[in-house]
Amino acid sequence: MLPVQSPDDVKRLRSSELPALAAQIRARLIETVSHTGGHLASNLGVVELTIALHRVFDSPADRIVFDVGHQCYTHKLLTGRAERFSTLRQAGGISGFPKRAESEHDAFIAGHSSTSISAAMGLARAKKLRGEEGKAIAVIGDGALSGLAFEALNDVDGTLDNLVVILNDNEMSISRNFTTIARHLARIRNTSGYYHFKDGFESALQRIPLVGEGLREGVSRIKSAAKEALYHSNLFENMGFTYLGPVDGHDFSQLCSSFLRAKELREPVLVHVHTQKGRGYRQAEENPGAFHGVSRFNPDEEQSCEMPPDTFSEQAGLELTRLGEKDKSIVAVTAAMKYATGLHHFSARFRDEGRFFDVGIAEAHAAVFASALAAGGMRPVFCVYSSFLQRAYDQLLHDCSLEPAHVVLGVDRAGIVGEDGETHQGIFDVALLLTLPGAAVYSPVTFDMLRRDFSRALYEEKGLCAVRYPRGKEAFTLPQDAVDHLDWWEYGVPEAEELVITYGRIVSRVERACRGRACRVLLLERILPLPQAILDTAAQYRRVVFIEEGVRAGGLGERMASLLLEGGFTGEFVLRAIENPVVPQGTVEECLCAVGLDEESLRRIL
């Protein structure tokens, strides 16, 4: 049992006890995540930072917003959830991300990147409008310092004197950062002499009993000259922040001192903290990218850093690499997800040719960039998680669809993903893609389909095209009597009165639910645009059942129902999709059961 149950307990500890608390927390993180899976390296890196936050600031009066949120595990342990921590990411347990309904100490939802500064600004403004004391604190990693984060930084002014931004610089997003911002932060870390000079100089001045106005102006000029000589420029000071740092993110004395100063200042403050991702667990220190998000593992055994080849993500990466060998116009784009989407294969093979692009956590930029690559004569493939694709909707519509541009999307983690919960379920992509003019969508359920669909997307389609595939392994084998119609597969009893239509990973459960029933099954492989032959076939049946692992509102089932009705269909149309799109955490099977897409629930509607 940890010796703390609340932020007040952290404040009561002696300074000499803090390293022992950090060691206990790291042991608890490794023990728990090894059983539940989750985000390990990122949480190991912010243990001291989080302890210092709660030692200095006063949550929940001071509102702490974690960017992305996957590094909030220590925060949860320190805010009354230590006893339930073993339920992390389990059905009915505590979330792996901040959740306002879970604790008053969780200030804002955070499942995606780059939102913390905007959220902290809103909380800070609300405090001012309501006459409340306290700070709003954004904890943001250097990998998330892109896109929306810069829009927020650009909106900060001197009146927001209750805003603190803590920049957790671990030189990583999910994989290593190579962006301009990463290089800028490296220069700050390597030229910190100015800040040591500044702190020492100001400390000396404070010991002078009386400082005249002339001396004040001279001091300002001396500090500016020192800054120019030692550093030249600091982006954050130029944007109106008082900059503190760089601070050793594993030194309690430096952290607490800097946070106390930020708490006392009545102006926007940015504290630059340098941490080590994976700290305290050798394997995570040596390969933080591989230990960013992990499944269950044995912490006492050496873990393989190789991604298993029998997943859709790995097969997608291998197939794109194979295609890239034959076609030099194929280029690959990712938003800081090289390993997770399988594109490390493409990156390693074509590194010297400059055909792989990791743009950092910036999906909107990636979409426009890919569209312009296409306009320039290349064949871009942008691989992205389904839930992160949402962040680029405007660009997919405006920059990829209207013209149109021949951009191929590899939509990974399509469908229910399980333990990461509401913010990560890949259940909106089909409804989203359905609204894009001229878009084509493939939904393979076997590795062979995946390979042919990427080839078709690259060489047969003309505009925006998505190939969407689930997380994990291949779990479906086509029945022996299945007939390939290129855009769909057919099996079952052709002369039956009932037609079942489905697509995506859920087909394995549909196939089992249909066993022993006299029905015909159509498995859609190219789901958009809907082939006219599918509509013509469905119109002939007395009863049509449409099953999809996606949201009902605006989904493919609703699209088909409306097209059939417009065509005069008078039979029974049954649609089973996800009615409530807020799907809590749990195993994939538990989540499917909760939304009525498990095998037993499907039998009841057939």
Where residue 268 sits, what CATH number does that domain have? 3.40.50.970
- Please say if the pLDDT value at position 318 is more than 90: yes
Closest CA to 98 of 74, 82, 134: 74
Q: Is 277 a catalytic residue?
A: yes
578 and 427 in contact (C-beta within 8 Å)? yes
Looking at residue 297, its pLDDT comes to 81
- Where on the phi/psi map is residue 340: left (φ > 0), alpha (ψ -120 to 50), or beta? alpha
Q: Is 526 a catalytic residue?
A: no
Instruction: Over range 379-395, report the average pLDDT.
Output: 97
Looking at residue 195, its pLDDT comes to 47
Residues paired with residue 65 on neighbouring β-strands, in sequence order: 138
Of 43-47, 494-498, 519-523, 548-552, where does mean pLDDT reach its minimum? Answer: 494-498
Same domain for 432 and 489: no
Instruction: Indicate the pLDDT class of residue 228, thresholds 50, 70 and 90.
Output: very low
In a domain, 213, yes or no: no
Same domain for 442 and 532: no
Looking at residue 15, its pLDDT comes to 96
- Please say if the pLDDT value at position 64 is more than 60: yes
Same domain for 138 and 181: yes
In a domain, 473, yes or no: no
Looking at residue 578, its pLDDT comes to 98
Quote helix, strand, coil % in the chain, to nearest 5. 40, 15, 40
Instruction: Over range 326-339, report the average pLDDT.
Output: 95
Same domain for 564 and 445: no
Instruction: Over range 61-65, report the average pLDDT.
Output: 97
Instruction: Indicate the pLDDT class of residue 186, thresholds 50, 70 and 90.
Output: low
**Last-in-domain residue among 440, 468, 496:** 468
Q: Which residue blocks in 487-587 are alpha helix, DSSP H?
A: 507-514, 532-538, 556-566
Instruction: Over range 205-231, report the average pLDDT.
Output: 52
Same domain for 487 and 464: no
Instruction: Over range 24-41, report the average pLDDT.
Output: 94
DSSP 269: E
126 and 68 in contact (C-beta within 8 Å)? no
Of 28, 89, 277, 559, catalytic: 277
Same domain for 266 and 399: no
> H or E element: which one contains 358?
strand 356-358
Beginning with the edge strand found earlier in the chain, give each strand of the sheet holding 379-385 in spatial order: 356-358, 330-334, 379-385, 408-412, 465-468, 440-442, 526-528
Phi, psi (rounded to 5 degrees) for 492: 105, -150
Where residue 515 sits, what CATH number does that domain have? 3.40.50.920
18 and 250 in contact (C-beta within 8 Å)? no
Q: CB-hemisphere CA count at 13 Å for 231?
A: 26
Q: Is 391 a catalytic residue?
A: yes
In a domain, 476, yes or no: no
Same domain for 497 and 560: yes
Residue pLDDT, tens place only, 81-132: 999 999 999 999 999 999 999 999 999 988 888 999 999 999 999 999 999 9
Q: pTM score, two decimals?
A: 0.87
Q: Which residue blocks in 405-506 are alpha helix, DSSP H?
A: 429-434, 447-459
Instruction: Over range 233-241, report the average pLDDT.
Output: 80
* Highest mean pLDDT (candidates 193-207, 282-296, 459-473): 459-473
Same domain for 457 and 491: no
Looking at residue 69, its pLDDT comes to 83
- Please say if the pLDDT value at position 193 is more than 70: no
> H or E element: which one contains 604?
helix 599-605
* Cis bond before residue 529 (omega within 30° of 0): yes
Closest CA to 391 of 434, 358, 361: 361
In a domain, 130, yes or no: yes
Supply the angle between the helices 47-56 and 18-36 in degrees, to the nearest 10: 130
As a whole number, the mean pLDDT across the chain is 90
Of 363, 498, 511, 525, catalytic: 363
**Last-in-domain residue among 468, 493, 528:** 468
Of 391, 413, 451, 559, catalytic: 391
In a domain, 316, yes or no: yes
In a domain, 551, yes or no: yes
In a domain, 304, yes or no: no
Looking at residue 325, its pLDDT comes to 97
Two tokens, residue 421: 């919960």
Same domain for 121 and 155: yes
Counting the structural domains of the chain, the total is 3
- Please say if the pLDDT value at position 221 is more than 70: no
More confident residue, 211 or 408: 408
In a domain, 570, yes or no: yes
292 and 284 in contact (C-beta within 8 Å)? no
* Cis bond before residue 60 (omega within 30° of 0): yes
| Domain carrying residue 491 | 483-605
- Please say if the pLDDT value at position 225 is more than 60: no
